[in-house]
Amino acid sequence: MKIIMLGAPGAGKGTQAKKIAEKYSVPHISTGDIFRSNIKNGTELGMKAKAFMDQGLLVPDELTCDLVVDRIGQDDCKNGYILDGFPRTIPQAEALNTALKSMGTSIDYAIDVEVQDSHIVNRMSGRRACTGCGATYHVKYNAPKAENICDACGEALVLRDDDKPETVQKRLTVYHDQTQPLIDYYKKAGVLRTVDGTLDMEDVFSAIIAILGE
């Protein structure tokens, strides 16, 4: 089961990807997690990625394509995987398609988690990230036990630069310009499925399971 998660930043596709991965015992491959790990460790790749992410811009293709293709070629991906945050552009999708063809395989489903922009801005501005372990919270939907303190490790929680309303709006503009065409791309390929991302998290998950099957 090879799945691509589509949707604007903050649509909740990452949360759903993790739940799908757990249910079907396949790896959840998030380029966002890879970039954040590199940023935290101060690597050259991380610093390059951070410069783009802090401005609400997409990380260039050359920083991601080879990394993803190498990852899906590993043993734990034999029974499938879920790509979260990649591809983001048509050239990335075409590069992925070419790589998969050379491996004798293809994507089974591209699932679009659909949410209005205004809903996303409100949702993301409430997010808080732990400066220690990277855990994420939401001031309304998933608040920590103590304000601005991580439940897991006790470190401070912060509003990341890329979650600030002005940056979120810029990210959404970039998404509509560069990433939303992927919806048409995968629709033409016959693998696109759409779910309503404004529903309760469990209802969104149920809708996805209905698509994938038990």
Q: Does the active-site annotation cover 128?
A: no
Q: Does the active-site annotation cover 88?
A: yes
The catalytically annotated residue of 160, 164, 187, 193 is 160
Residues 65, 66, 71: CA angle, nearest 5 degrees: 100
Q: Does the active-site annotation cover 171?
A: yes
Q: Does the active-site annotation cover 193?
A: no
Cα–Cα distance between 56 and 100 in angstroms, integer?
A: 29
The catalytically annotated residue of 2, 19, 127, 128 is 127
Find the length of the chain: 214
Q: Does the active-site annotation cover 71?
A: no
The catalytically annotated residue of 50, 88, 123, 128 is 88
How does strand 127-130 pair with strand 157-158?
A: antiparallel
Amino acid type, 35: F
Tokens of 180: 């939303």
Closest CA to 16 of 84, 88, 118: 84
Q: Among all residues, which ones are annotated catalytic?
A: 13, 88, 127, 160, 171
